Amino acid sequence: MIRVTENFRETQQLLAAAAADAARPADQIRLLAVSKKKPLEDILALATAGQRDFGENFVQESLQKINSTARDDLKWHFIGHLQANKTKVVAEHFHWVHTIDRLKIAQRLSKQRPYYAGDLNVCIEVNIDNEPQKSGVPPADVPLLAAAIAELPRLKLRGLMCLPAIRQDFEEQRKPFAALRELLEGLRSDGLELDTLSMGMSADYAAAIQEGATIVRVGTAIFGARS
């Protein structure tokens, strides 16, 4: 438990250093603690240490955690692949969905979002490296999908998310993140009001911050390796 809190503090410091390197204010970058496959106790320890945003990938697992934390000050972000038959639980319990990859999913979330819950924040997942095995929308298809999602009630389209191919070199890591930023800038000049780039994980968040990430999704560096 102590180690998770220590990792968290260290990650906050590294994040602040990466922001300084990029000449950006650290408070423009939200740290999302990715807690998939990690126990509730770790989440509660981080909540006590001040963390509020948690990312989960699996619907059943996350529902159990959300219900058992029993705190209404935590923000839950769905970052896994979302199947059409699981959208209702997500619409009812999450504050954010980062992984919209087709209009049908957005339409279901829009219909199923309860009135009492306020708008659900969503991002489009972009297959930024055009990898055949990966989910996400091809970059070329993003403008049409974004325009359609922006019209849906009870959803608030916030921006774009990506999960690029693994690269070791810092300068190489920057390229797909730069491409996502340019895609977002294009949507903005088309008139969409977007403020979110969800990009960067434990191994590459410094490069993502350099390219304008506003949410970095960090699991391993905080919680340790997953089995």
Binding site for ligand PLP (CB under 6 A): 34, 36, 57, 79, 163, 201-203, 217-221
Shortest distance (Å) from residue 32 CB to ligand PLP:
8
Minimum Å gap between C-beta 222 and ligand PLP is 8
Between 14 and 147, CB nearer to ligand PLP: 14
Residue number, 37 or 104, with CB nearest to ligand PLP: 37
Residue with the CB atom nearest ligand PLP in the bound state: 219
Task: Give me 95's structure tokens.
Answer: 């504050």
* Closest CB 202 distance from ligand PLP, rounded Å: 3
Q: How far is the CB of 79 from ligand PLP (least distance, A)?
A: 4
Residue 129 or 147 having the CB closest to ligand PLP? 129
Q: Is 183 helix (H, G, I), strand (E, B) or coil?
A: helix
Q: Terminal CA-to-CA distance of the chain, rounded, Å?
A: 17
Residues with Cβ within 8 Å of 118's Cβ and at least 6 positions away in sequence, in order, are: none
Which one, 16 or 147, has the nearer CB to ligand PLP? 16
Judge whether 51 and 31 are in contact, CB under 8 Å: yes
CA angle 145, 176, 182 (to 5 degrees): 55
Beta carbon of residue 55, minimum distance to ligand PLP (angstroms, whole number): 7
Distance separating alpha carbons of residues 121 and 159, to the nearest angstrom? 9
Q: What angle do CA 160, 166, 168 make, to 5 degrees?
A: 120
- In whole angstroms, how far apart are CA 42 and each of 11, 54, 75, 153, 201? 15, 11, 15, 35, 19
Shortest Å distance, C-beta 57 to ligand PLP: 5
Minimal CA–CA distance to 107: which of 71, 65, 60, 154?
154
Toward ligand PLP, which CB reaches closer, 136 or 139?
A: 136
C-beta of 12 vs 57, nearer to ligand PLP: 57
- Cite the beta strand spans of 134-203 per DSSP E: 155-162, 196-198
